[in-house]
Every structure is written in structure tokens, then in C-alpha cells.
Amino acid sequence: MDKADIERTKKIMEDLAFGRNPFTGGKLPDDTILNDVNLARSFFFVSKILDDLLTNEEKVARSNAPQIPFHITEEQRSKALSDENISISRFVSNIRNSINDKSMQIPSANQILNWLTDKGLMYKKTNADTGRYQRLPTNEGQFIGIGTEEREYNGRKYLGCFYSRNAQIFILDNMDSILGNNTDA
């Protein structure tokens, strides 16, 4: 199993979780089983596991190498940024792919989400049906471009977060703070 296969599978899981056909990018029909809220949660869960696998794989590969601080060139930055609204996992994958330096310190999706929450741009809300929490943008988070997309299947509604280009730029601009390289935000 190579990194490209894992990243491709992760992207497919994210597309399915957001109700998109992973091969055409079009919206899946509302009545397809693939839009079931439980399957969507499972797709998000698998995507997170694959993201963790990629992160851990890189940690193991870099464990003996000295880590260099995060740095991104303008060319790498333009490759990492998407004009589309994307998930945080896909954004981290874009960063990883654009830099492609295993010795560089690159945050996980969870590190970014924790930082956004600590800065008051997101908050945790417990789902009454499942007892699990999800992170949603605060008004300040919405202002920088973090949004939600409501979905419904069999009468159940759920939200998924997305990150606009402006939110992606905000995250890149604050990468030192996210990684704990300084305390400024």
C-alpha cells in the first residue's frame, strides 16, 4: 500500500462523505444509500483514519531525521490552496503534496482543528442523536470562510464543515502558531 493509494482512497471517502460522486464530482442523488447519515459518518471516520495513517507514516519516516520548521514557497502555496470549498483533511493533504518534504513539520487536521477551536473560530457541539461531538464554526470562523453544508437523509440532518480559499489562506498564514513555533495568532 503506497502513499498515493492511501491519499486517493482518502479523497474518495471525503467525496462520498460530502455527497459527491468521487469520479465525476457531481452531487449524488438524495435517495442513494451512499447519502445515508450513518454511511457519511463512516466515510468521515475512514478518511480520518487514513489521514492519521499518513501522518503516522510520515512521523515514522521523519523520526530519525531532524525536523525543519514549516516553510512554504509561493509556488507550493498556490498548489496547496483550492478555489473550491474543501474539508480540512483534504487541505492538509494538499499542503503535504505541495511541499513533499518528509523532514518538514506539517500539522495534522486535528492540530489545525484544535488550534481553530482554541482561537474561538470553531466550537464543539454534541449531537443529541449520537452523543458524539462535532466541530462547527463560530461567527468569527464563518467570517474567515469556514462554513457548513447541511445534508439530509431519511429525515436526519447533519452538518459537514468546509474551508473556503480565504480560510485556507488564514490557516497557512498562522501555521507557526498552529505548530507552536510561536505564540502569536
The reply to whether 185 falls in a domain is: no
8-state DSSP, 35: G
- What's the structural domain count of the chain? 1
Convert the pLDDT of each residue in 49-81 to its tens digit: 888 887 776 555 545 555 678 888 899 999 999
Task: Look up the domain containing 93 and give its range.
Answer: 3-178
The reply to whether 184 falls in a domain is: no
Predicted local distance difference test score (pLDDT) of residue 184: 47
The reply to whether 102 falls in a domain is: yes
Name the more confident of 45 and 183.
45
Looking at the predicted structure, is the pLDDT value of residue 107 above 90?
no
183 pLDDT band (50/70/90 cuts)? Answer: very low
β-strand partners of 163: 86, 146
The reply to whether 14 falls in a domain is: yes
Taking the complete model, does pTM exceed 0.75, yes or no? no
The Cα–Cα gap between 13 and 40 comes to 9
Asked if residue 96 lies in contact with residue 106, where contact means CB atoms within 8 angstroms, the answer is: yes
The reply to whether 108 falls in a domain is: yes
